[in-house]
Amino acid sequence: MTLIRRETERDRAAVHAVQDAAFATAEHASGGEADLVDALRAGEDWVPQLSLVAEIDGKVVGHVVCTHGRLAGERVLGLGPIGVEPELHGKGIGAALMHAVIGAADARDEPGIVLLGDPGFYGRFGFVLAEELGVTPQDERWAPHFQVRPLAAWHEGLRGRFDYPPAFAEFG
């Protein structure tokens, strides 16, 4: 059985290892995803309640994090990275992490979640292309993969360019 829970300090090394393994062979990876998580933790945009791990038999096998970026002068969540141990891909762990982090963000009255990823995959979690909501990425080349999941607190004033936390520029 998979348990989804908040990351604790004792999970940090395991989270780093999971993110390293998850992105080791991914074609879209920067190679810095694990270091990005470490850098995000140290920044002012860190949201500890939205750094979740998936655990099986006491072992961390997956991780997702959301941190605050900026959109129209407001704090809006940016999701990522999300990673699962490669040998467990296709077992629903990533989906469980996504559902948990979306539910937790909505319960916190966050307005939405932004991410860069495959629309075919993330569409099943309610993400839509950001341009449909008037949201643009920092880098226009990201547009075909730049998505938003509006939550209950979403409002029409959330339009314009979304900026990720500064750590993404260094490691993302």
CATH code, domain carrying 33:
3.40.630.30
* Percent of the chain with pLDDT strictly greater than 70: 96
Q: How far is CA 88 from CA 25, 46, 108, 118, in A?
A: 14, 27, 30, 19
Give the range of the structural domain holding residue 160, as residue numbers without chain letter: 2-171
Task: With a cut of 70, say whether residue 27 has pLDDT above it.
Answer: no
Whole-number Å distance between alpha carbons of 162 and 135:
7
**Domains: count for the chain:** 1
Q: What is the pLDDT of residues 113-165, one digit of tens each?
A: 999 999 999 999 999 999 999 999 999 999 999 999 999 999 999 999 999 99
Confidence of residue 28 (pLDDT cuts 50, 70, 90): low
Mean pLDDT, the chain, integer: 95
Would you say the pTM of this structure is higher than 0.85?
Answer: yes
Which residue has 């339009």 as its token pair? 159
